Amino acid sequence: MTANHILAIDQGTTSTRAIVFDKDMGISATAQKEFAQHFPKSGWVEHDADDLWRTTLYTCRKALESASLTATDIAAIGITNQRETTVIWDTETGETLGNAIVWQDRRTADVCQSLRDAGHSGLVNSQTGLLLDPYFSGTKLKWILDHHDGARERARAGKLKFGTVDSWLIWNLTSGDAHATDATNAARTMLYDIHKGVWSAEICDLLDIPMQMLPKVHDCAADFGMADPKHLGAALPILGVAGDQQAATVGQACFEPGMIKSTYGTGCFALLNTGKTAVTSQNRLLTTIAYQLDGVPTYALEGSIFVAGAVVQWLRDGLGIIEDAQETAALASAADPSQDVVLVPAFVGLGAPYWNAECRGATFGLTRATGPAEMARAALESVGYQTRDLLEAMHSDWQSSATAPTLRVDGGMAASDWTMQFIADITNAPVDRPQMTETTVLGAAWLAGQRVGLYPDMKEFAKNWAVEQTFTPNMDANTRAKRYGKWGRAVQATLSV
């Protein structure tokens, strides 16, 4: 084909990226642009949805320019996105009802507690695989409808649409022609029955959400609509969509049951492929859709850590002890080994396996000698401790000899040798960092590329996965047990406040 490139959009929590992949899945060009974060109240996190669209359009155009390509060189568009972030917009004007409510936002904790008290946890978990938590889109959507006069009536009349970020971008790219999402994003709304593959009328009724405002759900590789030529210079098919963590699972070629990947971005998200079986967790993990192809869902167990890379941002922006994230590892290496500082970064509550929306961060073991180096080490170690929490819960739920002993990692923090080595040490498991670390956006590109016939099938794609470095555990068992035990006590103390 003459158009032999894929344009992949990675709309994240703090920035938007566009990457052009060539016919061999190599990167031709990248463009990235940050956008503002809004924190109107404690525990509230918002984005201006128009910023998400503007930065998407800007980075797509910039990436094409940097690659010396035009839209006619692009065979298809793939999209991956921050999940659970909630947008409602007017179908006629395209204007949003206030800011987008971000996945990290905890404002609906009281709503979730009321629903739990009323005995609805079982319904939500059995149909969606999720827990009743502010993390997910459902109660965010309810909150927006509750706080805008006449919003439900407008929604019932077909004048308002709901979407996660992928739907918002598809709507804008197609100039309002397509209102769509994929199964992985739908599975994160707390409104989608992952077993039947339909929106749950029962849960929508419980939250008083008009089903007319929900998008059509497709496979991850499907026809999501055609991008309007006015945006990029040619009509381009949108053929691949997946939430960021599911896209990373695809990009890491975790196609066999038992394979695990962990992505270290703003948060940390570990997914364990459970194949065609939707495993119900006994350890407060989530049952979700890893990907869906040809109408068949592949399921996963997921553990979500709300604060991973964000703890390094806090060192930089909150404490001011670093100017660049790359300084953190050197600081951690210089820390006084006699000081055993433990940081529980529950800035917006704790995710799996604790799921406590109300607790907040705490630091233990401070002395007069504690300084930036010790705080940096504690911050990086907190990511390793939380990873072990997730993996132990996963292994307990899965209980299969097929479970892979190796963790495949990606995301910004995966570039930190210090952090990856600590994760290997504290989990007592090898950590594989791939040669292609842009696994999230690669997953979106592959979904679109194989759909259009440019890229190989799943089996051949998996063969091309290659490791760049393996981090092997070298911490002795007694030290590992002692340090992890102290982490556990710190978490319990944090939860008890």
Assigned domain for 346 exists: yes
- Reduced to 3 states (helix: H, G, I; strand: E, B; else coil), residue 160 is strand
Q: Which helix (H) or strand (E) holds 313?
A: helix 309-313
Distance between CA atoms of residues 279 and 281, nearest Å? 6
Residues 219 and 264 in one domain: no
Q: Is omega for the bond preceding 353 within 30 degrees of 0, making it cis?
A: yes
Cβ distance 352 to 286 under 8 Å? yes
Question: pLDDT tens digits for the chain (497 residues)?
Answer: 678 999 999 999 889 999 999 999 999 999 999 999 999 998 899 999 999 999 999 999 999 999 999 999 999 999 999 999 999 999 999 999 999 999 889 899 999 999 999 999 999 999 999 999 898 999 999 999 999 999 999 999 999 999 999 999 999 999 999 999 999 999 999 999 999 999 999 999 999 999 999 999 999 999 999 999 999 999 999 999 999 999 999 999 999 998 899 988 888 889 999 999 999 998 889 999 999 999 999 999 999 888 888 888 888 888 888 888 888 889 889 999 999 999 999 988 888 888 787 889 999 999 999 998 999 999 999 999 999 999 988 988 887 645 456 899 998 889 899 999 999 999 999 999 999 888 999 999 999 999 999 999 999 999 999 999 999 999 999 999 999 999 999 999 999 87
Quick count: other Cβ atoms within 10 Å of Cβ 175? 15
Give me the residue label for tokens 């990226």: 17
3-state DSSP helix/strand/coil % of the chain, to nearest 5:
40, 25, 40
Distance between CA atoms of residues 492 and 497, nearest Å? 9
CA 277 to chain centre: 22
Strand intervals (E) in 327-419: 342-344, 362-364, 407-410
Quick count: other Cβ atoms within 10 Å of Cβ 4? 15
In the listed set 186, 218, 244, which residue is the last one of a domain according to the structure? 244
Assigned domain for 444 exists: no
Residues 164 and 69 in one domain: yes
Residues 256 and 240 in one domain: no
User: In this structure, what are the phi and psi dihedrals at residue 310, rounded to the nearest 5 degrees?
Assistant: -65, -25
Does this model's pTM top 0.75? My answer is yes
Amino acid at 27: I
Amino acid at 81: N
Assigned domain for 447 exists: no
Assigned domain for 450 exists: no
Assigned domain for 30 exists: yes
Residues 414 and 492 in one domain: yes
Rg (CA), the chain: 22
- Reduced to 3 states (helix: H, G, I; strand: E, B; else coil), residue 105 is coil
The pLDDT value given to residue 405: 67
Closest residue by Cα to residue 382 from 270, 271, 488, 245: 488
Q: What is the largest CA-CA distance in the chain?
A: 66
Phi-psi region at 202: left, alpha or beta (left = phi > 0; alpha = psi -120 to 50): alpha
Closest residue by Cα to residue 261 from 291, 225, 294, 281: 291
Residues 306 and 343 in one domain: yes
Residues 397 and 484 in one domain: yes
**Per the structure, how many domains does the chain have?**
2
In the listed set 244, 268, 298, which residue is the last one of a domain according to the structure? 244
Residues 139 and 234 in one domain: yes
Residues 188 and 311 in one domain: no
**CB burial class (10 A; 0-12, 13-18, 19+) of residue 72?**
exposed
CA distances to 81, 168, 223, 440, 444 from 11, rounded to whole Å, are 5, 11, 19, 10, 11
Alpha helices in 129-216 (DSSP H): 137-146, 151-156, 165-173, 183-186, 201-207
Domain interval for residue 148: 5-244
In the listed set 224, 244, 264, which residue is the last one of a domain according to the structure? 244
Query: For position 233, which CATH number holds?
Result: 3.30.420.40
Residues 185 and 274 in one domain: no
Cβ distance 88 to 249 under 8 Å? no
Residues 373 and 313 in one domain: yes
First to last CA, the chain: 61
**Strand-pair category, 5-11 with 74-81:** parallel
Assigned domain for 215 exists: yes
Cβ distance 126 to 194 under 8 Å? no
Assigned domain for 458 exists: no
Residues 387 and 425 in one domain: yes
Assigned domain for 162 exists: yes
Residues 380 and 354 in one domain: yes
Quick count: other Cβ atoms within 10 Å of Cβ 147? 11
